[in-house]
Each structure stands twice: as structure tokens, then as C-alpha cells.
Amino acid sequence: MTPSARIQAAIDLLDAIIASARDGGPAADTLIARYFKERRYAGSRDRRAVRDHVYDAIRRVAERPETGREAMIGLAQERPQIAALFDGSAHAPLPIEPGEVGVSAGAVPGWLRPLLAAPVEQDALLGRAPVDLRVNRLKAAPADAAPMLPEAAPIAGLADGLRLPEGWPVEQSAAWKDGLVEVQDAGSQWIAAACGARPGMTVVDMCAGAGGKTLALAAAMEGQGRLLAADTIRSRLARLEPRAERAGATFIETLLLDQSHEARGLETLQGRADVVLVDAPCSGTGTWRRNPEARWRLTPARLDRLVAEQARILDFAAPLLAPGGVLVYATCALTDREGRDQVNAFLSRHAGWEAEPIDLPVGRRHGAGLLLTPGHDGSDGFYFARLKRGA
């Protein structure tokens, strides 16, 4: 592919990503993979260059553009070397017309900006994320795994945390293949630590997904006790089984719940759990470093639905706790509606519950919980709180 043809390919992909974001379709990574699967002639350098153009254009724009061309022209207005590739040659974009203006740059959609928690450093939300790892204590100690990954650096305050440069192919390493390490953002590791899971406990990961935090809880429990991973989406839970096998965490139980009727599937656990983690569905505003096009998918109406769903999940999760048990509420979101305000609303609805201080050397106290942000903590953005049921 010529450099100009790469720009046109990026424009075509941006058109598809914009439409998918508008219509709730596949994510950008999926669309990019499909695009190149159908174009075998594109070499590795072509794929890398096109992908970089696409993500540079996405990161630059807060509001969803109308077309891929205006997104790329906006980037070209800041980079003359890209503007010169709008030359109208074969497979290239048409020249930029006089007066043709690209979409304006921005980090946060205007409607969302006032809803973010006040301590959030908005300019840091779109930096490129490193590859964070958690050493799996079921199979190795950090002293065993670290020498296998000489480019990895320790993460301050996380005994099992290692950090690799952005884009490092960890899944090709023996340490990952043998289950000695798991890919897990430092923020997620802090949330697992806040749960205080120990051997012999009964622990429920309520919105387990593919099980990243479930595996961290399994390691903290040293494979002893009862650990239940629950979710309403079968395909997500299916991804946990091979991960648990690789990690040596085969004591994990999975439970597929019927959405909107979850309480019925959890009846036998009521009043029995020592710890329940609710890593709730959320806006994902804390993960824009990894998923910048998520900004184009979020709307005020969708945020309203997410806030209502978070409250609903908290309400059916709370009865699972034994007296003195702890519910850890977490979201990878940085809006106060999903974090501080959601916790305050829960405490006002549920008598006999109280927020406990979280003793971790990270984040900032915000309301009843802790706020982690990329700018302050070098992790994805999270809000989490420990809520204790009265004895």
C-alpha cells in the first residue's frame, strides 16, 4: 500500500467505526481485524500504519464525527505530512478542498465534562496504556516470574504487579502461557486487594465477565474456600474456564444468571457470603486509554440506563452477605453518578450498612470510596468502595 492508500484505508475504517458506534455494533479492534482479514495483500507495516492513523484520529476527537474523512482531515490539519497524502492519486483520498474543515479536537464530550468527578485530570484520560501484569501466586512468586520478563518493571505498592511497555506481546511469553502471570490493569488489582479475600471464605464475583478479578480473588484465597463467578452472559463466562485452567484455579464455580431474575438464581447464597464483589456495568470512562471510541458510544440516555442497572445489581447483591460481610462496589467509570452518588444512594436505601475506610496506598478519597485516575495513579480510572453489613 502506498502512504496515500493507507490514509484512504484509515478513512474507510473510521466510517465503519463511526457507524458501529452510532448503532451499537462491534468495537474498533474487531472492525480493524475484519478489514485486514479481507485484504490479505496488506503487509504488517501497512496494517500497523493504518491502525495508528485510525487510533490517532479517534483519540483526537471527543464527539462522534459524521464521517471518517472529516476525522482524518482534522488530524491532517495538525500534521502537514498527512495533509500532503490527500493527493487524489490511485487509491488515495481526494485533495482537501479550500474551506473543507475537519472535526475539532477534544478529550471529553461536552455534555459529559461536568459529570466527571472533580479530581479527574481530563487531559490524561487518553494516554496510551501500558501492559500491566499480576503474578499468579497459585503458580509463582514475583521472584520466579520477573526474570522471565526482563523488560517488566515492578508497580509501586503492588507486590504482585509488573508493568511492560504499551503493546508488548505478553501472550507470546512462556510466563503467560504457563499461567505464571495474568494481564490485569493495576487498578483492577487494587480492587481485588480491597476485597480482602482470604483462604476459606465464601466469595462471589457478581459481574464476573471473563474473570480477571475472579482469578485475582482465587490467588488471594490460595485455592481454598468457595469462589463463585456469576454473570448473565454465557459467552463471557465461557472465557473464564480456559483462563482458570491455565492459572491453576480450578476450584472456581461459575453461575449463569437469568437477567432481570438474578435473585432467583442466588437464593441458596443469601446470608452466606463473606465478600461480594460487584464490578458493575458502567460507562467505561476510566478505560478510554484502551477504548477511546467508547466516547462515541456513550449518550445521556445510556448513562441513565447504566446508573439504574448499577443500583438494581447492588440491591439484589446485598442480601447475599452474611452479617459482618463486605460488599465491594466498583466501576471503571469516573462520573460521580456511577461512583460517589451511587454508593451514597445505596447507603440511604439499606439500613444497617456502613462504608469502611480502604487502607491502600493509592488513589484519593472521594465520598465513601476511593477514586483512581490515569493522571494521578497511572492506572485505568476506577471508583470503588467497601460496604459492610451490620452484625
List Cα–Cα distances, 310 to 8, 9, 306, in angstroms.
41, 39, 6
Q: Amino acid identity, residue 41?
A: Y
Grid coordinates standing for 1?
500500500
Asked if residue 196 lies in contact with residue 221, where contact means CB atoms within 8 angstroms, the answer is no
Helix, strand and coil content of the chain, in percent to the nearest 5, comes to 40, 15, 40
Helix (H, G, I), strand (E, B) or coil at 58: helix
Decide if 195 is catalytic: no
Helix (H, G, I), strand (E, B) or coil at 333: coil
Asked if residue 244 lies in contact with residue 218, where contact means CB atoms within 8 angstroms, the answer is yes
Q: Residue 204 burial by CB count (10 A; 0-12/13-18/19+): exposed, middle or buried?
A: buried
- In the block, residue with C-alpha cell 502537514: 80
In 186-287, which residue ranges form alpha helices assigned H by DSSP?
186-195, 212-220, 234-247, 262-265
Q: Phi and psi at residue 35, in whole multiples of 5°?
A: -60, -45
Marked catalytic residue, from 195, 207, 282, 332: 332
Query: Residue 332: how many CA atoms within 13 Å on its side-chain side?
Result: 22
- Which active-site residues does the annotation give? 332
